Every structure is written in C-alpha cells, then in structure tokens.
C-alpha cells in the first residue's frame, strides 16, 4: 500500500510547463538564459542556477516573480487528489526544480507534507540578492526523492510518483506506482506504469486505490 506520493510541480500541481522560462520572458532575460542553458543545463545545473541568480537577476525587483507566483493556477482536479491523500493518511511531497515560493503556495493550499524546490533569495527591499538555494538539481531529482523516502520510511513498494518531463524518469524508477501526467516525453512514458492525459489528474485516486 502506498504511503508516500512524490509530485513534480510545474505541469502537475500547477498549470504551465516551466515557471523559470516564464520568468525569464517577464524579466527580459530569455536570450541570456538560453545561452547559459546550452553551456550548463545538462552538465552543471547547480552552477546554472547560481549564475542565473547572480548575473541575470541580482538587484532586480521581484515584483514580476511574485506576480507570476500569484497568477499560477492549480491543475483542474488536483485538490481532490490531495484531499484523498489527507483522508487516507498518505504523505505527500513536492520534488521540483521550480521556485520554492511556488511550492510554498501549493503547501498552503493542499497541506503538503514536505517540499523540495529552489529558493531565490529576496532582500527586504524586494530585490533579488543574487543568491539561490538549490535544493533540487533538475538532472538528479532522485537524490531529494530518496531523502524524502527515508524521512517518511517509504520503500519502493510504498511510494508513488507523478511527473511530466524526462527529468522525472529517475524518480519513476524509485516508485512502484509511477504516473506520467499530460506528458509527451517518450522516456518518461516508457518509464511509468500509468499515463494520464490533461484534465485526468483525478484518475490518480483510482490508481492509488488499486495499488
């Protein structure tokens, strides 16, 4: 029986595929972001995050960041999934390379047990300080996932996961119940036991009941 469900955030809990790309567009740093990504994205995600915070956003206002956080809408039906988890005393956790502040929003909305994400530091003046706390390396999401499993005493047999991108494959390998949601990534679709289309997130409940 499942006692822990690990969630990706962008595209699963919230609508929208990539918060950071949306922020780059809003901040006017999209071109520089792609240049950094091409050099570091797959090779050194931590350095990518640190350089982005320091070189592109340092001393800039966080107003657009907070606007995007506030505007982000939850996926249709996700509330019912978390309600089922709470009623059945199943722990939940976010493992996302997205913003920690968005994960906090999800935690407030759905009483999520634990969150792991990447936290941009914002000073008292409302500006980015250039620092970032990288809790989740997008290329190694299995590391925080395993830490959370250990924290909750979960095993392969008692863990489920829901993701939507190739970077979630490593987490899928840790879970006996793996669910690809609204994904077109062949690697993830092959790695997961279940494939749900957009607006089918409520079907997670039936999958968990049968597990």
- Which run of H or of E encompasses 157? none
**pLDDT classification of 179: cutoffs 50, 70, 90:** very high
| Predicted local distance difference test score (pLDDT) of residue 40 | 65
What's the average model confidence in pLDDT over 200-205? 98
| Domain 4-18+70-210 coded CATH 3.40.50.1000 | yes
What's the average model confidence in pLDDT over 170-190? 98
| Predicted local distance difference test score (pLDDT) of residue 209 | 96
Q: What angle do CA 114, 20, 185 make, to 5 degrees?
A: 80
Residue 151 backbone dihedrals phi, psi, to 5 degrees: -60, -40
Query: What proportion of the chain, given as a percentage, has pLDDT over 90?
Result: 89
What's the average model confidence in pLDDT over 62-86? 98
Residue with tokens 């505007």: 71
Model pTM score: 0.95
| Predicted local distance difference test score (pLDDT) of residue 33 | 86
**pLDDT classification of 24: cutoffs 50, 70, 90:** very high
β-pairing, 114-122 with 128-134? antiparallel
Residue with tokens 């300080």: 129
Of 42 and 207, the structure prediction assigns the larger pLDDT to: 207
**Terminal alpha carbon distance of the chain:** 6
pLDDT at 60 over 70: yes
Mean pLDDT of the chain: 96
- Which run of H or of E encompasses 97? strand 91-99
Beta-carbon contacts of 149 under 8 Å, excluding residues fewer than 6 positions away, are 4, 155, 159, 174
**Residue 41 corresponds to which tokens in the numbers above?**
């994205």
pLDDT at 42 over 70: no
């Amino acid at each position: 029986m499942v006692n822990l469900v690990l969630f990706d955030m962008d595209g699963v809990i919230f609508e929208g595929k990539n918060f950071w790309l949306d922020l780059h567009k809003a901040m006017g740093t999209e071109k520089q972001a792609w240049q950094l990504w091409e050099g570091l994205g797959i090779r050194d995600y931590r350095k990518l995050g640190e350089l982005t915070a320091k070189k592109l956003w340092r001393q800039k206002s966080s107003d657009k960041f907070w606007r995007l956080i506030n505007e982000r809408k939850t996926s249709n039906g996700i509330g019912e999934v978390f309600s089922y988890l709470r009623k059945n005393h199943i722990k939940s956790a976010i493992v996302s390379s997205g913003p920690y502040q968005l994960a906090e929003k999800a935690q407030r909305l759905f009483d999520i047990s634990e969150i792991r994400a990447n936290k941009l530091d914002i000073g008292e003046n409302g500006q980015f300080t250039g620092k970032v706390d990288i809790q989740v390396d997008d290329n190694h999401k299995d590391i925080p996932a395993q830490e959370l499993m250990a924290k909750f005493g979960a095993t392969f047999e008692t863990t489920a996961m829901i993701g939507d991108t190739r970077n979630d494959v490593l987490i899928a390998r840790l879970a006996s119940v793996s669910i690809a949601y609204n994904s077109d990534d062949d690697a993830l679709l092959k790695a997961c036991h279940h494939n749900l289309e957009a607006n089918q997130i409520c079907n997670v409940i039936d999958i968990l009941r049968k597990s």
